[in-house]
Amino acid sequence: MQEGRVTRIESKDIYVISNDGSEIRCVLPGKIKNKYSLKKNKLNTLDIVAVGDFVKYSLKTSGNETVGIIEEIAERNNYVSRKAPKIRGRGEKGKRLEQIVAANVDKLIIVTSIANPPFNNRFVDRMLVIAESSEIEPLIIINKIDLDENNTSNKWKSLYESIGYKILEISVKEKLNVDLLQSKIQEGKFVFWGQSGVGKSSLLNHLFPGLNLKTGEISDYSKKGKHTTVTAKLIQINSKVSVIDTPGIREIEPYGISKNDLGHYFIEFLPFISDCKFNTCTHFHEPGCAVRTAVEQKKIHKERYQSYLNLLQSIEE
In the complex, which residues of this chain contact ligand GDP (CB under 6 A)?
143-144, 146-147, 171-173, 194, 196-202, 215-217
Q: With beta carbons less than 8 A apart as the criterion, state whether 234 and 244 touch.
A: yes
Taking the complex as a whole, the smallest distance from the CB of residue 176 to ligand GDP amounts, in Å, to 8
Contacting range for Zn ion; rule: CB under 5 A; set: 188-196, 232-240, 278-286, 300-308: 278-286
- Secondary element (H or E) of residue 80: strand 79-83
Sequence-separated (6 or more) residues with CB below 8 Å from residue 298: none
Closer Cβ to ligand GDP, 132 or 245, answer by number: 245
Residue 276 interacts with which of Zn ion, ligand GDP, none, CB < 5 to 8 Å by class: Zn ion
Q: From the list 204, 281, 295, 311, which residue makes contact with Zn ion (rule: CB under 5 A)?
A: 281
Closer Cβ to ligand GDP, 99 or 201, answer by number: 201
Closer Cβ to ligand GDP, 210 or 216, answer by number: 216
Q: From the list 24, 55, 204, 276, which residue makes contact with Zn ion (rule: CB under 5 A)?
A: 276
Distance CA 6, CA 18 (A): 9
263-296 burial, b if ≥16 CB within 10 A, otherwise e? bebbebbeebbeebeeeebbbeeeeebbbbebbe
Taking the complex as a whole, the smallest distance from the CB of residue 169 to ligand GDP amounts, in Å, to 10
- Secondary element (H or E) of residue 68: strand 65-73
Under the criterion CB under 5 A, does residue 283 sit at the interface with Zn ion? Answer: yes
Distance CA 275, CA 262 (A): 16
Under the criterion CB under 5 A, does residue 289 sit at the interface with Zn ion? Answer: yes
Taking the complex as a whole, the smallest distance from the CB of residue 147 to ligand GDP amounts, in Å, to 5
Distance CA 273, CA 291 (A): 6
Taking the complex as a whole, the smallest distance from the CB of residue 216 to ligand GDP amounts, in Å, to 4
- Backbone φ, ψ for residue 15 (5° rounding): -90, 135
Distance CA 115, CA 92 (A): 43
Residue 216 interacts with which of ligand GDP, Zn ion, none, CB < 5 to 8 Å by class: ligand GDP
Under the criterion CB under 5 A, does residue 300 sit at the interface with Zn ion? Answer: no
Distance CA 45, CA 127 (A): 20
Taking the complex as a whole, the smallest distance from the CB of residue 273 to Zn ion amounts, in Å, to 6
Closer Cβ to ligand GDP, 215 or 306, answer by number: 215
- The residues that touch Zn ion, with contacts defined as CB under 5 A, are 276, 281, 283, 289, 291
